[in-house]
């Protein structure tokens, strides 16, 4: 959560709290620190040193490259000084000196390079002192200052490592893991809040709510008295808790109050369309229910179409990724046995192997996977696994090329730190990062399905970086979803000979659209 837009996490969070946090608190309050030439100097600090200590610990123990606490702390504090040009901080020998112009505001011994608690205390101490002497910094909220410091330190990491403040982190957790709610999406229209969509099999659906209903009150509190965000927040709560919702039916005049109990809501990420022969499954992202959603949709396609169903299209275009475990489960729906992906990083725990896992027979119908420049991380895991196993033909343009895993770490302030800790290796043995997935049948820069041709070349595992660059250059990444992608996929699925040639990744002849039956869509 494989999601910003590029989040790819392992599906669980490493706890940096509870007993560990208590240990930091104890260590921080007893830290021997010298403070010189300061009015009203106190060893205690108001900013939270445990947050910074936990951040430095998490990065040092998880990030794919080694870093030190002192480099992270100094980078974060120096970034904070840009809020007020009168302030500066630096190392002078074995001391950390914080100044306003030439006046020394703080002068303390520099902790050891790997002393997370010591540098957490120094960070908090500098922030406290900065707030005393700088109106610009004092005007910032604690969350904003924390974010500035942590983001400054993260500049030493790759662009996929990032920090989410508590409110944003809560939204991320809800998107990944679900939340207690009633299963609606909202549209705000001035003082009115309208239900845009009701999720099937949700409390809202059971209560008879529908798109177009206007919410007038939540638990007796008028919706007009709060912003749309406030209404959405009140709809959420503990699973099993009771909610009274007053709505005005679209076109009605008398409000109706319905009572529901909140359930665990996980947003649906898979949608299906089909014609008489081919089913198309669009996967928007990988959250905690994606594999279950896709399995349910596959079963529905077989029920509705029966023996007329000739093939399947798995549409991963624009899919930014999500949870690794879900990408493994999705790939496992189509693979009999074998490797889906492995990860390799600096710390032993980051070196893992993910094999096919299932509790039902694999889907065996012919399969085409659509990718483009917006397909990243978890979607690239699925596409590369199916491509390397010769289970699916990949159609579209080169994918994004985000082949790294991010670990999500909960921080003491309820924020989240997302840290890159491993690289992804598909079954073919190559590095997925930067290389990505290159389709066998490329649709970049073609006007119609008649112009599509396969890309001949060596097996992916035989390519060096130069070879990968040349391969991607033949099919440049594009983020545009075009109908021609689906048309090419459907043509392949309705011609067994062309499908088999493309599946082997060694096409015997150019892709001859004229020899393929007319699209059934």
What confidence tens digit (pLDDT) does each residue in 230-266 have?
Answer: 888 899 889 999 999 999 987 778 899 999 999 988 8
Task: Please give the DSSP secondary-structure letter assigned to residue 406.
Answer: E
Place of tokens 């949870």: 323
Residue 314: strand pairing partners: 281, 369
- Comparing CA positions, the residue from 352, 354, 403 lying closest to residue 380 is 403
Helix (H) / strand (E) element for 162: namely strand 162-164
Q: Burial, 152: exposed, middle or buried (Cβ in 10 Å; 0-12, 13-18, 19+)?
A: buried
Place of tokens 């480099």: 71
Place of tokens 């039956």: 517
- Comparing CA positions, the residue from 97, 174, 101 lying closest to residue 134 is 101
Q: How many CA atoms lie within 13 A of 220 on its CB side?
A: 1
- Is 388 assigned a catalytic role? yes
What confidence tens digit (pLDDT) does each residue in 415-463 have?
Answer: 999 999 999 999 999 999 999 999 999 999 888 887 777 776 667 778 8
Q: Specify whether the CB–CB gap between 49 and 28 falls below 8 A.
A: yes
Q: Return d(Cα 218, Cα 234) in angstroms, integer.
A: 7
Which residues, given as ranges, of the chain have pLDDT below 70? 1-45, 188-192, 228, 456-458, 505-521
- Is 402 assigned a catalytic role? yes
> Do 179-265 and 270-515 fold alike per CATH?
no
- Residue 175's pLDDT is 79
321: which residues sit within 8 A by CB, 6+ positions away? 1, 2, 3, 6, 7, 8, 285, 286, 327, 376, 377, 378, 379, 380, 402
- In the set 28, 125, 350, 377, the catalytic residue is 377
Q: 40 is written with which tokens?
A: 């009203």
- Comparing CA positions, the residue from 408, 401, 438 lying closest to residue 423 is 401
Q: Return d(Cα 89, Cα 106) in angstroms, integer.
A: 9
CA 341 from chain centre, in angstroms, equals 18
- In the set 6, 213, 388, 485, the catalytic residue is 388
Domain 179-265 has CATH 1.10.760.10: no
- In the set 402, 423, 485, 505, the catalytic residue is 402
Question: Domain locations in the chain?
Answer: 14-162, 179-265, 270-515
Q: Return d(Cα 488, Cα 313) in angstroms, integer.
A: 11
- Is 399 assigned a catalytic role? no
- Residue 447's pLDDT is 81
Q: Burial, 102: exposed, middle or buried (Cβ in 10 Å; 0-12, 13-18, 19+)?
A: exposed
- Residue 11's pLDDT is 34
User: ∠277-282-287 over CA atoms, to 5°?
Assistant: 140
Q: Specify whether the CB–CB gap between 180 and 238 falls below 8 A.
A: yes
Second CATH level (architecture) for the domain 270-515: Alpha-Beta Complex (3.90)
């Amino acid at each position: 959560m494989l999601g910003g837009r590029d989040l790819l996490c392992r599906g669980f969070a490493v706890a940096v709290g509870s007993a560990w946090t208590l240990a930091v608190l104890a260590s921080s309050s007893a830290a021997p620190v010298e403070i010189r030439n300061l009015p009203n100097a106190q060893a205690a600090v108001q900013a939270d040193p445990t947050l910074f200590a936990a951040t430095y610990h998490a990065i040092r123990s998880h990030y794919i490259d080694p870093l030190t606490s002192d480099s992270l702390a100094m980078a974060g504090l120096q970034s904070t000084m840009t809020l007020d040009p009168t302030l500066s901080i630096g190392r002078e020998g074995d001391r950390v000196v914080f100044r306003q112009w030439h006046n020394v505001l703080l002068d303390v011994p520099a902790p050891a390079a790997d002393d997370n608690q010591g540098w957490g205390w120094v960070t908090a101490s500098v922030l406290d002192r900065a707030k005393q002497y700088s109106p610009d910094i004092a005007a910032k909220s604690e969350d904003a200052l924390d974010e500035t410091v942590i983001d400054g330190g993260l500049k030493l990491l790759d662009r996929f490592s990032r920090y989410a403040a508590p409110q944003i982190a809560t939204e991320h957790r809800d998107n990944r893991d679900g939340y207690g709610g009633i299963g609606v999406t909202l549209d705000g229209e001035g003082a009115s809040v309208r239900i845009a969509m009701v999720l099937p099999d949700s409390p809202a659906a059971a209560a008879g709510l529908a798109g177009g209903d206007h919410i007038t009150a939540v638990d007796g509190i008028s919706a007009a008295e709060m912003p749309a965000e406030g209404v959405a927040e009140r709809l959420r709560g503990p699973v099993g808790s009771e909610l009274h919702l007053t709505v005005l039916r679209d076109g009605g005049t008398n409000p109706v109050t319905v009572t529901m109990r909140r359930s665990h809501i996980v947003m649906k990420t898979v949608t299906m369309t089909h014609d008489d022969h081919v089913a198309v499954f669009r996967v928007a992202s990988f959250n905690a229910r994606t594999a279950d959603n896709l399995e349910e949709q596959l079963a529905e396609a077989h029920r509705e179409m029966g023996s007329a169903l000739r093939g399947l299209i798995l549409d991963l275009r624009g899919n930014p990724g999500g949870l690794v475990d879900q990408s493994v489960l999705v790939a496992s729906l189509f693979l009999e046995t074998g490797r889906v992906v492995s990860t390799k990083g600096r710390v032993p725990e980051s070196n893992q192997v993910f094999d096919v896992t299932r509790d039902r027979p694999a889907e065996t119908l012919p399969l085409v996977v659509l990718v483009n420049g917006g397909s990243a991380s978890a979607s690239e895991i699925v596409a590369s696994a199916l491509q390397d196993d010769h289970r699916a033909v990949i159609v579209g343009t080169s994918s994004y090329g985000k082949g790294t895993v991010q670990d999500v770490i909960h921080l003491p302030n309820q924020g989240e730190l997302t840290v890159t800790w491993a690289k992804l290796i598909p079954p073919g043995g190559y590095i997925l990062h930067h290389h990505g997935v290159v389709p066998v049948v490329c649709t970049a820069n073609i006007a119609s399905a008649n112009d599509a041709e396969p890309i001949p070349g060596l097996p992916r595992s035989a390519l060096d970086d130069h070879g990968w660059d040349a391969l991607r250059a033949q099919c440049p990444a594009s983020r545009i979803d075009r109908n021609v992608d689906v048309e090419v996929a459907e043509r392949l699925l309705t011609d067994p000979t062309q499908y088999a040639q493309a599946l082997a990744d060694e096409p015997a002849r150019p892709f001859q659209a004229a020899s393929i039956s007319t699209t059934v869509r």
